Homo-oligomer: A and B are copies of this chain.
Amino acid sequence: MSYPVSPLASPFPALPEIAGVVPHVVRAGYKDWGRCDLTYVTLEEGTAVAGVFTKNVCCSSEVDLGRENAKLGRARALVVNAGNSNAFTGYRGREAVEQIMEQVAAHIGCPKEQVFVSSTGVIGVPLPKDKAREGVEKALTAEPCSWEDAANTIATTDTFAKGAAATAMVGDTKVKISAIIKGSGMIAPDMATMLGYLFTDAAVEPGFLQACLSAANLRTFSCITVDSDTSTSDTVLAFATGKAGNAPITGFDSPGAHAFAAAIHDVCRQLAHLVVRDGEGAQKFIAVSVSGAVSDESARKVGMAIANSPLVKTAIAGEDANWGRVVMAVGKAGEPADRDKLSIGFGGTWAAQQGLPLADYDEAPVAAHLKGQDISIEVDLGLGEGTATVWTCDLTHGYISINADYRS
């Protein structure tokens, strides 16, 4: 963590322990750094698992195997390697992942498909098997650690540790969710993959856990962007131990299902925002709210076109209410839009409505809003009922410094 802490950082929250989940951290020494870099989390028998993964087709073996095994629905352990992403390493990379899965499975006495592995860091270098073997060996007998230790250990170029929690009433039972995440854009040579893990004591069928995670993903992780680039290793996994003792949630007909789904959504939203708040060079947190689209998905795509526009992001960095750049971004999204129905505002003040600049537009409240750290851009397409909110950060000299002003 050699970069200054993000001005948008949040302190690490108090995360409850989750029955059936025990985190540990050790030093495998993947890099020559004085910190733990291997996280090992044990999960009691019967734990359900669900996952969402990068759509990048050049993904790592960890993603290939995790995607395949999450479909089986059960997990007993998670191993996260920091410092080496093991991506673009061919069969040698895959062997290293399978070695870890086998080593942990042998110790626990479970099918190796129930051991999930993630790796983050430099790409193109196969994860060293000897270091992985020694690291895992230590981890298997390590003392439990705090959530904050685990959050720090999965991190690479993050400037602060990230966690979130929520609870939900399922029948008469209060279930808990604790979650950690890492990611801050994609900084080479350590590609700052987003890796997120949710742990809950709720009893949930894997199919419903997957439905909750997939739905939340669409409105949270799929709605954030730092620089439009997509890691080859992005992964979010949810684990449910069932130790809370609630009647298992099997679908939306089960008692508490909606509350549980809402809690998963809430945690995912918190985690997603934390990643944006650690965006490379970020000085401002930007929410782009799109309404009046022909569908929610269309609204999301328009929002992402705005949030990915270097011109919009630099305008916000410059505290400039440049609605013309927003018009441009709407128009290039490839989604239905009508110039003459378009309205654009900042911080709740319309600058243009129905395709025309407001005659009595008062820039003073907008200028004041743009000087703050939390910025909102509102866009109404005037076509339908579709809505979406996406989140990003501004594009600053800090981004260039982090990504260009180094030599590998």
Produce 1/0 per residue, A241-278, CB < 8 A to B.
Answer: 00000000000000000000000000000000000000
8 Å CB contact of A328 from B229, B318, B328, B395: B229
A365 sits at the interface (CB 8 A)? no
A122 to B317 Cα, complex, angstroms: 20
8 Å CB contact of A310 from B124, B229, B342: B229
CB neighbours of A319 from chain B (8 A): 407
Within 8 A of B (CB), among A312-354: 314-315, 317-320, 322-325, 327-332, 334, 336-340, 342, 352
Produce 1/0 per residue, A72-89, CB < 8 A to B.
Answer: 000000000000000111
A311–B188 CB distance below 8 A: yes
A33 sits at the interface (CB 8 A)? no
Total copies of this chain within the assembly: 2
CB neighbours of A401 from chain B (8 A): 397
A111 sits at the interface (CB 8 A)? no
B322–A404 CB distance below 8 A: no
A309–B408 CB distance below 8 A: no
B404–A315 CB distance below 8 A: yes
Produce 1/0 per residue, A343-375, CB < 8 A to B.
Answer: 000000000100111000000000000000000
Residues of A within 8 A of B (CB): 55-59, 87-90, 122-125, 186, 188-189, 191, 227-232, 308-311, 314-315, 317-320, 322-325, 327-332, 334, 336-340, 342, 352, 355-357, 394-397, 399-401, 403-408
17 A-B pairs in the complex with CB atoms less than 8 angstroms apart: A56-B331, A57-B337, A58-B328, A58-B337, A58-B339, A87-B327, A88-B327, A124-B327, A188-B320, A189-B322, A227-B310, A228-B309, A229-B328, A310-B399, A314-B399, A314-B404, A318-B404
Contacts beyond the supplied A189-B322, A232-B331, A395-B400: 4 A-B pairs with Cβ under 8 Å:
A55-B334, A87-B324, A228-B310, A229-B325
